Structure 1
Amino acid sequence: MKAFTHAAALCLLAAASTAGAADANLGRNLAATCANCHGTNGKAVPGSGMSSLAGESKANLLQKLADFKSGDKPASIMHQIAKGYTEAQLTLIADYYAAQK
Structure 2
Amino acid sequence: MTTIPRAAACMRRPLRLALLAAALCGAQPALSADPATGAALRARSQAAACTNCHGPAGRAPAGSSIPSLAGRPQAELAAQMQAFKAGTRPATVMHQIAKGYSDDQIAAITAWFAAVH
Q: TM-score, normalised by structure 1?
A: 0.77
| Alignment of 1:94 onto 2:105 | no
- Structure 2 residue runs without a partner (length 5+): 1-34
Letter in structure 1 aligned against 2:76: N
Q: Which residue of 2 aligns with 1:65?
A: 81
Separation in 1, partners of 2:66, 2:92: 12
Q: 1:44 matched to which residue of 2?
A: 60
Q: Percent identity?
A: 46
Equivalent residue number for residue 47 of structure 2: 31
1:11 aligned residue: none
Question: C-alpha distance in 1, partners of 2:84/2:98?
Answer: 6
> Runs of 5+ in structure 1 lacking a partner?
1-20
Aligned counterparts of 2:86 and 2:64: Cα–Cα separation in 1: 26
Q: 2:101 aligns with which of 79, 85, 89?
A: 85
Post-superposition offset of 1:48:
1.7
- Offset of 1:30 from its aligned partner? 0.4
Q: Deviations over 1:4-62 (max 9, x none)?
A: xxxxxxxxxxxxxxxxx751311110000000000000000011211000000010000
Task: State the one-letter code of the partner of 1:100.
Answer: V
Query: Paired residues, what number?
Result: 81
Residue type of the alignment partner of 1:50: I
Give CA deviations for 1:67-93 in whole Å, capped at 9, x if unaligned.
Answer: 000011010000000000000100110
